[in-house]
Structure 1
């Protein structure tokens, strides 16, 4: 497995809409393995393929904590349906928007249809943190960052700081 570079805002590639995967192949499974290794190394709980520069509809996540056994999840071509009308606020962060955390409201439950690691169709009823995480990662597949759910002022302040940090790192 290879640890890949995670793109950070304001990289324009993060705004691309990802394309569906035709078939879950060994190449796609290798990408998912690399993404999982990259996510664990970062560390994070979810990662979309576009965050490592691959504009395809693939997500990995693992919500296990600390010494708990790893519980990797793989979502290929995920589709959210039946989001609840009830919203729940969660403190969100993002590997592509490092060191920033803000409260975002999202539906607290949803159903997700997707292909698993082997390419088999699956349906998952998600709630709580799992529902938030899948919606957050799905946003990435549509070119949306969690900061897009914030006020314009907060979003611009975060992007300005990230641009400044990138410029300083390049110098």
Structure 2
């Protein structure tokens, strides 16, 4: 089932997600719905707060459903190691039409649980690293526009307000 994606300034986007404690069929159904929603929106990552659920769950698939081996489910993730530096453009499904360059670590190591509650560690470099950091930020209530300069943020927020007035947001 495709879930509605919430847009900024929806309050759930700026709240830290609650840790997941129940690893049941309901969680796995929600994860499947998140993947379906992400693919329908042509995204590569989606966090539970983006569909209005304040839980520490995110899905990532850089292959956009082309390679099932690339699908990642991160439940209760945390970044345990960072190295290097990237300055690349990012977008966000909760900020359609807003893209800005953001500084991120070039490589990260994360620790998370899968949809069955099993702990694992994974590494990401370049785009995967950026995606992991972006989605974990969502789970912490941090949005990518708060990682850009105040001038660019003000311009982006002005654009959003203009689209809101026009009924396009």
TM over 0.5: yes
The answer for the alignment partner of 1:80 in structure 2 is 79
2:10 paired with 1:48: no
Q: Give the Cα–Cα distance (whole angstroms) in 2 for the partners of residues 65 and 42 of structure 1.
A: 10
2:153 paired with 1:168: no
Give TM-score scaled by structure 2 length: 0.93
Q: Give the Cα–Cα distance (whole angstroms) in 2 for the partners of residues 32 and 87 of structure 1.
A: 30
RMSD: 1.7
Which is further off, 49-58 or 22-31?
Answer: 22-31
Q: Is the contact between residue 9 and residue 159 of structure 1 (CA under 8 Å) also seen in structure 2?
A: no
The answer for the alignment partner of 1:32 in structure 2 is 31
Residue deviations 1:24-73 (CA, integer Å, cap 9, x gap): 2111111111111010001100000000000000000100158x434321
Figure out how many residues of one structure are paired with residues of the other and give that number: 168
Give TM-score scaled by structure 1 length: 0.92
The answer for the alignment partner of 1:7 in structure 2 is 6
Unaligned runs of 5+ in 1: none
Aligned with 2:26: secondary structure? helix
Unaligned runs of 5+ in 2: none
Q: Give the Cα–Cα distance (whole angstroms) in 2 for the partners of residues 118 and 167 of structure 1.
A: 44
Q: Is the contact between residue 10 and residue 163 of structure 1 (CA under 8 Å) also seen in structure 2?
A: no
Runs of 4+ in 1 over 2 A off after TM superposition: 68-71
Q: Give the Cα–Cα distance (whole angstroms) in 2 for the partners of residues 31 and 11 of structure 1.
A: 20
